[in-house]
Structure 1
Amino acid sequence: MESTIPPLIIPGVPQAFLDLCKLNVEVPIKPESHLSRSSTLYSPTAPDFDKLKDKVDHARLTKNYADAYTDTHGLRLCIKGAKLPFTAVMPLGFANVDEQEPFCPLLVAIGVEPKKVTYEDAKAVSESVKLTILAEAGFDDVEVAIWEFETFLSSSGPKLLALDPELQGHLTEFYHAFTSTLGIAVAPLKQPGYEGSLGLFLTRGDDSKLLALTAAHVARPPWMFPDNKGLSLKAADMHNEDIVMLGYEANTLAVKKIQSEVGRLQQSIKNDEQRIVGLQVRLNNGAEDADGITTAIRTARQNVDMSKESIRQLAIHHGRVTGLMPIPDNRCIARVLFADPIGASSDGPDAHTRDWAVLGIRKDAFGDDFQGNILYIGILYHAGDKLGGQAFLDRMFPHYADRDGYVYPEHGLLRFRGVVPMEGPLRPKQRDAKGDTALAVAKNSRTTGTTTGWYSELKSLVRYYKFINVEFTSRELTIVPYDNKPGTGAFSDRDDSGAAIVDRGGRVVALLTGGGGGGISDATDVTFASPYCEVEKRMKEIFPGIRLLE
């Protein structure tokens, strides 16, 4: 009789979640080109108001005003003139659960502060809005409702916890994207499709405010701010330019990564259970190596149990992040305090690129276990190949006679310790595998995660002109891929701008600002970066006393 494997059931894990993950396949996203690592633009997704056209005469309503469906400014003026303490003006439609047809296609709901508006005043305002604004604009079939309605901030902050590899174990990589541990993917709240990386944390020492550094073109996308005037301290106080962790794509990929792993674990369980069935048949038929088969069955069952436990943990994690993270406002962790205009630091031959912004981290953004400038090294990813801790050591300490400090960061977490001075990168003391002086560097960023590369001792003359309305030339630090072996991968890619580049001891070398290569191959790609010591010097002119948080 042929044995069959029963459907996978894991107590505490919804079957719908298992089915979702079973069908999920992780597809790596590879941009066609990346002249500027954060230059790819995304159009905001517009609400699909066309779905209402079967219930409301769409053409009639928008004939005189294209934004008729979304603009409530006129209503606001009317309500304000009536001195009504309103809290919100919302165009809404209503339907019963599980019914596709709405019983009220479109309604203007005006929220007012509870217990502060009499029935007579509410009725008067409702009739005024309907007769003097909506009817005259051709909305005579749209009703007006007055609600007692309170408004409040959607979140007190994401409360991101620090990464805990000791607790999360082999699942650490699936938690990292949703923690306060570097590198953190970020994007402007107003345009979360334009993404980059948060580089490092800063302090001024005179207060408890936590600051952070990223690239200016990440914090303030040039296409949104074509004047390239930057953002002064005074202007920042008047304009809230909020920053979220995980833009649209980064959030989607991080969730998809969890689902993909659960799908892989389910397949692993299926394979182990099929193996157990086959081994049990052999055992029942009197196979000679009964002890070996029994041991193999025990091992397979242990693998099944471990995979099920991993799925349980990932299901809890998935439910937490999908419950909190889908709305960009709920991922808001900072606002822009200052951004330098993008350009060259001077007209001289050694001018470097000024492309940096300082962020103020919200007090409620991180949990009490915040650990500061700790970079997640973990498992290195290169074109899908996993490299463990030994591979990291081999890359950062390639020469046997140059292994001062030869130790893998505990739990894969590298703490920042100081800054490499300008003469440091120019005269590195470390050595490559051949014994020549060289400086191996690493970073963790939004797109490529943890990568390693070599700092080139020669500065590159870089001309920027395509992604901002200003043309300038500067000398940049150059980072090249670690080697040209197939599958090794480029040091950086699109949306990695803003990441901090460090040496093997955790000293900050540079701020990643751009790259090039034309996409011919990963081995020919080059990453450009501004020396951190120069960026810090400029920051101190604006923020006296600012320094690396240690």
Structure 2
Amino acid sequence: MSEESEKKCSDRKAKTAEVRLQFGVVDTVSRKTKHPVNNCLRGWALIKLSDDRFLDLPINILPPSHFSLQEQTVIMKIYEEDTTFPADVLSQPLSTVISMEEIEDVLKRSGLSDHKDRESMRVVKHGRTSGFTAGSLNEIRSDCYNGGFETIELVVVNIPGLNNFSFRGDSGSCVVDLDGRIIGLLHHGNDEKSHSLAEMTYVTPMAWILADIKDTLQTEDVVIPVDEEV
């Protein structure tokens, strides 16, 4: 075997070994219940990352978006004519969480100037099943049945002319606005068997999830990693 072949073989083995390293172990899991104050779903889990695989906290970053030019046009048509799809913004690490107060401010069309007198806030997500999709964050929180109890959640509705915002297997996806700020986590997706449910995806605000984690662990030391090189 030549030196070049040996090197390629060694590189493949090294990559395989890295993939096989344990990601981590489950440390804390919330009970699947309704939050007593916010009435949203409690359904998060904390993973203790493997020290053998991670020397530092990994950065939250989305893969390159695969929206076509036509899809980008459909997503952005509610904004000014010279506004282009922010692919460069969405390629940056995600570290900023938008507060529920600001979300409500935007949805009431009484806050940020770029949303006045326009449709709901555009959001995107990258899911395990459906990859990148875009939707509109609805102005009104909606009842969500969770197999024994109901919660009140943020709702993302489909954009006409685009694919459904979510499909089975997308639960846990991070939903962000077009400024790259984290809205929340997707927990109930579209149901293809029901036309009405196929229009809606339920999202729990990330700000509430972080607050719930802090309350559960009795600590303020809960952060989202920031890429210091950016």
Could you say if the C-alpha distance between residues 522 and 540 of structure 1 is closer, same or farther in structure 2, counting changes exceeding 3 Å? same
Would you say 1:546 and 2:222 are equivalent positions? yes
Matching residue within 327, 332, 354 for 2:22 = 332
Could you say if the C-alpha distance between residues 398 and 332 of structure 1 is closer, same or farther in structure 2, counting changes exceeding 3 Å? farther
Q: How does 1:42-441 map to 2 (within 5 A)?
A: 320=12, 324=16, 330=20, 332-346=22-36, 350-366=38-54, 372-380=59-67, 387-388=68-69, 391-392=71-72, 395-396=75-76, 398-400=78-80, 403=83, 407-409=86-88, 413-428=91-106, 429=112, 430-431=114-115, 435-441=117-123
Could you say if the C-alpha distance between residues 324 and 342 of structure 1 is closer, same or farther in structure 2, counting changes exceeding 3 Å? same
Structure ranking higher in helix proportion: 1
> What is the aligned partner in structure 2 of residue 461 from structure 1?
143
Percent identity, aligned pairs only, is 22
Could you say if the C-alpha distance between residues 342 and 414 of structure 1 is closer, same or farther in structure 2, counting changes exceeding 3 Å? same
> What is the aligned partner in structure 2 of residue 479 from structure 1?
156
Would you say 1:443 and 2:125 are equivalent positions? yes
In structure 2, give the amino acid aligned to 1:446.
R
- Report the alpha carbon displacement of residue 393 of structure 1 after superposing the two structures with TM: 6.6
Residue 141 of structure 2 aligns to a residue in which SS? Answer: strand
Residue 87 of structure 2 aligns to a residue in which SS? Answer: coil
Q: Would the aligned equivalents of 1:340 and 1:357 in 2 still touch at CA under 8 Å?
A: yes
Could you say if the C-alpha distance between residues 367 and 377 of structure 1 is closer, same or farther in structure 2, counting changes exceeding 3 Å? farther
Q: Find the aligned partners of 1:504 and 1:546 in 2 and give their Cα distance.
A: 25
- Report the alpha carbon displacement of residue 395 of structure 1 after superposing the two structures with TM: 1.6
In structure 2, give the amino acid aligned to 1:358.
L
Q: Would the aligned equivalents of 1:515 and 1:525 in 2 still touch at CA under 8 Å?
A: no
- Unpaired segments of 5 or more residues in structure 1? 1-11, 13-315, 381-386, 466-470
> What is the aligned partner in structure 1 of residue 109 from structure 2?
none
Residue 418 of structure 1 aligns to a residue in which SS? Answer: coil
Q: Would the aligned equivalents of 1:490 and 1:522 in 2 still touch at CA under 8 Å?
A: no
TM-score (normalizing by structure 1): 0.34
> What is the aligned partner in structure 2 of residue 525 from structure 1?
199
Q: Find the aligned partners of 1:444 and 1:407 in 2 and give their Cα distance.
A: 15
- Report the alpha carbon displacement of residue 414 of structure 1 after superposing the two structures with TM: 3.4
Deviations 1:7-26 (Å, cap 9, x if unpaired)? xxxxx9xxxxxxxxxxxxxx
Q: Would the aligned equivalents of 2:190 and 2:197 in 1 still touch at CA under 8 Å?
A: no
Deviations 1:422-454 (Å, cap 9, x if unpaired)? 12222324449xx52421111112111111111
Residue 414 of structure 1 aligns to a residue in which SS? Answer: coil
Would you say 1:510 and 2:184 are equivalent positions? yes
- Unpaired segments of 5 or more residues in structure 2? 107-111
> What is the aligned partner in structure 2 of residue 24 from structure 1?
none
Q: Find the aligned partners of 2:188 and 2:118 in 1 and give their Cα distance.
A: 27
Q: If you compute each CA radius of gyration, which structure gives the higher value, 1 or 2?
A: 1
In structure 1, give the amino acid aligned to 2:146.
Y
Output the aligned Cα RMSD: 3.3
> What is the aligned partner in structure 2 of residue 536 from structure 1?
210
Q: Find the aligned partners of 2:48 and 2:146 in 1 and give their Cα distance.
A: 28
In structure 2, give the amino acid aligned to 1:440.
R
- Report the alpha carbon displacement of residue 500 of structure 1 after superposing the two structures with TM: 1.0
- Report the alpha carbon displacement of residue 525 of structure 1 after superposing the two structures with TM: 3.4
Q: Find the aligned partners of 2:16 and 2:91 in 1 and give their Cα distance.
A: 26
Q: Find the aligned partners of 1:373 and 1:398 in 2 and give their Cα distance.
A: 28
Q: Would the aligned equivalents of 2:170 and 2:186 in 1 still touch at CA under 8 Å?
A: yes
Q: Find the aligned partners of 1:371 and 1:437 in 2 and give their Cα distance.
A: 35
Residue 375 of structure 1 aligns to a residue in which SS? Answer: coil
